[in-house]
Structure 1
Amino acid sequence: MKKRKLVITQTVSQAHYQSIQEIIPDWDIITGKDSSIWENHILDAEIIASWRKSMAQQCLLEESKLRWVQSWSAGVNSLPLEELAVRAIVLTSANGVHSYPISETIFALMLALTRKIHTYVRNQMTHTWHHSNLSLEMHKKTIGIIGVGAIGKETAKIAKAFGMRVIGLRHSGKPEDYVDEMYKSEQLNTILPQCDYVVVTLPLTKETYHLFGPQQFHLMKPSAFLINIGRGEVISEKHLIQALQEQKIAGAGLDVFETEPLSKASPLWTLENVIITPHTAGSTEHYDKRVIEDIFIPNLRDYVKGAIPRINLVDYVKGY
């Protein structure tokens, strides 16, 4: 009788490997980033941690033994969700591991745009001593957090240290600590005129695709800054560029884009009121540790007991 099999397409520390082995001592555990290590085990894998696009061809076959996928990223829009749903394969995400690094990036971008740090860095490169008309401060301003999940909650908490008024938007409209006013998804246009900073943390779904377009930029204050660390496709990039060029909004801090890497021809590179980071907001020294210890291992304990993994269980209907 063949052993049950777990494939992890990441480099796992010896300590984490041992912790996993203690839970499933009779399983074959295959780990490593190089595809040559795991590609011949995919068809037999009951659990896959860290999905790769190349796996779809085997994992969706009738003879595949796959029952559970643990995504290594918070976003799951790149996975074959419809096919996984049809096969009743459980999917859990890495939602929550990014709350510290991404909230730090959000405030780094907000502060840099407000205090013109990006302008001064450019000036430094040309040895230019210039005030650059610095005048804004962030304290006591209003921040709108579009998508109050783990990242949004941590962002709201930090915002309170700046004495900010926090407006939140979430599908359920359920209240949250550190959020002064919570609205439902359909009320986006109601809150935009109130915000000095609009922070987008949404996943990409059918409902969120191009949620921000000409109407939304028209509703925002000309003095408002937009921060997007969610998914690039949530915002219509051509209309964002137009809004920035026409100064309908004051500036933007962008970590995600409709097409990545961002084209070298994109006007976003040269706009003085834009800061670009290359989809690195979630990068942290603690990433793998948090995925394994906080999500995968607790879920694995549930799974071997016959229960459905409960942490970050993806709802295929919602898409996240």
Structure 2
Amino acid sequence: MTKSIVCLQPLTPQQQKLILDAAPGYTLTLGNAKNPDLELLANAEIVIGWGKGISDTLLRPDSPLRWVQTWSAGVEKLPLDRLEERGILLTNASGVHAEPITAVIFGFMLLFTRNLHTAVRNQQNRRWHSEGNESELTGKTAVIAGTGSIGSETARIAKAFRMKTIGISRSGKPVAGFDQVYTTDELPDAVRQGDFVINTLPLTDETHGLFNAEIFSKCKQGTYYINIGRGATTHTENLMAALKSGQLAGAGLDVFETEPLPQDHPLWGMEQVVITPHCAGTTDRYADRVVDIFTDNLQSYLQDGAPSRNRVDYSRQY
């Protein structure tokens, strides 16, 4: 056993110390995900992060690799079949995004209900104007696809605005903060009730293109759609058609099927759309939270041979 940990993301000296204190006898070396040192990775037992072009090195037959801790919540870009075949333990960064992404979700909702997006445009044109159709979140219904850490935090904050909360999950099991939880198969029935439909889903075979023309047609006239999950869970052409027809009143979008969103894409010119560049989860506390997850998992890994937190289920792809 090499007892080598390689992190492909920058860490402060304090964060490095936390890891080394939790892993006596291990070495910790910092690499670069954009320019990975394959020789360094070839001897790693544990890798934090991922990068292009490292799969063959890490997954060769005689590799000492046993565990990968991703720097992201999503794992769709990793070679999941090969990792599973090799029996590699895989944990993700689920949970680190809940607070900042929830803030972005409510930023979108407040922009739309209070017309703040149009106010910013009016300010740029020195125009004193209001359509007079401002609303509020109180009494509105949020349909939240995904009842994990992000969805649950969103539901919790929604209650402070006295909103009704409906969740969507694979199981449909009750979750704290949600007035009701539907299964994914019941998504068409759930979205009928939403003033806001919020997509926090990971990208899997089951969720690819899930939000399409059929789902948008089931939404109430004037519903707002928010996507901070993965771009490919939404059929973009169908979304634009629903926005143009008025079926959807607006959309707050942080993720897209193609990223970066091309400069000539029609979404840029739609005034009822607010776009952020896949930064909803960005926060100056990100690395601290990943290190917290990793050091917690180190304890169970060293004691029981496997991390216990955020373990990826290969059959579900998250």
Shift in Å, 1:33: 3.3
**Pairing 1:50-199 to 2, within 5 Å after superposition:** 50-199=49-198
Shift in Å, 1:4: 2.1
Q: Is the 8 A contact 2:76 2:317 kept in 1?
A: yes
Q: Deviations over 1:7-50 (max 9, x none)?
A: 00112122221222223332221114376674321111110001
- Find the aligned partners of 1:113 and 1:125 in 2 and give their Cα distance: 18
Q: Is the 8 A contact 2:254 2:279 kept in 1?
A: yes
Letter in 2 for 1:121: V
Q: Is the 8 A contact 1:168 1:181 kept in 2?
A: yes
**Pairing 1:1-320 to 2, within 5 Å after superposition:** 3-33=2-32, 38-293=37-292, 295-320=293-318
* Matched residue SS, 2:53: helix
Q: Is the 8 A contact 2:152 2:176 kept in 1?
A: yes
- Find the aligned partners of 1:246 and 1:39 in 2 and give their Cα distance: 52
Q: Is the 8 A contact 1:53 1:79 kept in 2?
A: no
Unmatched segments (≥5 aa) in structure 1: none
For the structure 1 residues 194 and 38, does the alpha-carbon distance in structure 2 shift closer, same or farther, using more than 3 Å as the test? same
- Find the aligned partners of 1:245 and 1:31 in 2 and give their Cα distance: 48
Q: Is the 8 A contact 2:33 2:51 kept in 1?
A: no
For the structure 1 residues 96 and 190, does the alpha-carbon distance in structure 2 shift closer, same or farther, using more than 3 Å as the test? same
Shift in Å, 1:135: 2.9
- Find the aligned partners of 2:134 and 2:281 in 1 and give their Cα distance: 30
Q: Is the 8 A contact 2:91 2:311 kept in 1?
A: yes
For the structure 1 residues 131 and 316, does the alpha-carbon distance in structure 2 shift closer, same or farther, using more than 3 Å as the test? same
Letter in 2 for 1:44: N
Runs of 4+ deviating beyond 6 Å? none
| Amino-acid identity (%) | 43
Alpha-carbon RMSD across the aligned residues, in angstroms, is 1.4
Letter in 2 for 1:317: S
Unmatched segments (≥5 aa) in structure 2: none
Q: Is the 8 A contact 1:30 1:38 kept in 2?
A: no
- Find the aligned partners of 1:249 and 1:36 in 2 and give their Cα distance: 43
Q: Deviations over 1:75-123 (max 9, x none)?
A: 1111111111111101000000111000010000011011111111111
- Find the aligned partners of 1:41 and 1:55 in 2 and give their Cα distance: 11
The TM-score with structure 1 as length reference comes to 0.96
Letter in 1 for 2:286: Y
Q: Is the 8 A contact 2:2 2:45 kept in 1?
A: no
- Find the aligned partners of 1:54 and 1:98 in 2 and give their Cα distance: 26
- Find the aligned partners of 2:27 and 2:163 in 1 and give their Cα distance: 51
- What is the aligned length? 318
For the structure 1 residues 35 and 183, does the alpha-carbon distance in structure 2 shift closer, same or farther, using more than 3 Å as the test? closer
* Matched residue SS, 1:305: helix
- Find the aligned partners of 1:116 and 1:219 in 2 and give their Cα distance: 25
Q: Deviations over 1:47-86 (max 9, x none)?
A: 0001112211211211221110000001111111111111
Of the structure 1 ranges 30-39 and 45-54, higher mean CA displacement relative to structure 2 is found in 30-39
The TM-score with structure 2 as length reference comes to 0.97
